[in-house]
Each structure stands twice: as structure tokens, then as C-alpha cells.
Amino acid sequence: MDYVVLDTDVASLSFRRRLPAPVMASIAPRLWCLSFVTVGEMTQWASLRSWSSRNQGALDAWLSDRVFLEANRQVARLWGHLSADGRRRGRVHPVNDTWIAACCLAEGLPLATFNTKDFADFAEHHGLTLVSLDRGH
């Protein structure tokens, strides 16, 4: 089975059934993985909007069908190296993007994101594989 990690932007659109058809077609055959960061961000999103128990249940069910990438010692150490390397080169990365990149790199998995510019530095300097997405526009 081919795996792909969904960045929060892609996961959110998928949950809301708003992924453009070409994007869905490009990632549908793969097993979808979510980092602990994306689960946290989506949970925060629902909580800030005071979702009903029905909507929260729908999110929980959607999340439970995904492979969950946890933080562990390897991911934490990779995060530290990625963060330090970026700072040395004058490129400070957003904390959550760095965690997501660390999860992908630790597992050797590609990342599907619409925010390729946010992850391009990790691809260029650390070998993060980015899945090219087209919103279909």
C-alpha cells in the first residue's frame, strides 16, 4: 500500500468534502496519514467553533479512519535538527510545519499539501517528498 501524509489544509478540505476532483483522484488510491499536529489543529478548529456533538462525532469518525503519526523521540530529534538547520541558514520555519515535516521524514512518507512554499525548504535541504496538488482551477 502506498501512503501519503495529508497536511492540515488538505485534510480539512477532505473532511468537508471540498477537495477538487483532480486532487482527490491523485491521493485517493493511497492510504491517508495524519500527523499529531493535523489532528490537533483540526480538533482546535472544531473546538473554537463550538461544534455540536454530532459534528464532533463526524470529525472523530473521519479521524479514526486515518493512520495516525505520533510524536516520538525520533520525530522530536528530527524537529530539533530541522529547526536548527533552518535557523543556521536564516530560514525560520513555522513550528507546526516543522513538526509535520519531521513526521514525514521520520516515516519516509510524502506530504500532500497546497502550501508547497511552506515546505519547499524541507524538500530542498532534507529530502522531504512533496505531492504536487492541483486545486483544479
Grid look-up 506530504 returns: 111
According to DSSP, the residues that pair with 33 across neighbouring strands are 5, 67
- Judged against a pLDDT cut of 60, whether residue 35 lies above it is answered with yes
**pLDDT at residue 29 tops 80:** yes
Class of domain 3-131: alpha beta
Share of the chain above pLDDT 90, in %: 95
Query: Could you give the CA distance from residue 137 to residue 123 in angstroms, rounded to a whole number?
Result: 25
Residue 37 pLDDT grade (very low, low, confident, very high; cuts 50, 70, 90):
very high
Q: Is residue 136 a contact partner of residue 25, using CB atoms and an 8 Å limit? A: no
Q: Which of 26, 35, 4 is nearest to 134 (CA)?
A: 26
**In the prediction, which pLDDT does 1 show?**
79
CB atoms within 10 A of CB 73: 8
Structure letter (DSSP) for residue 94: P
CA angle, corner 123, sides to 119 and 125, nearest 5? 115
What are 41-97's pLDDT values in tens digits? 999 999 999 999 999 999 999 999 999 999 999 999 999 999 999 999 999 999 999
Q: What is the DSSP string of 17-28?
A: T---HHHHHHHT
Of residues 82 and 133, more confidence is placed in 82
Instruction: Determine contact, residues 4/131, Cβ cutoff 8 Å.
Output: yes
Q: Residue 67: helix, strand or coil by DSSP?
A: strand
Q: What is the mean pLDDT of the chain?
A: 95
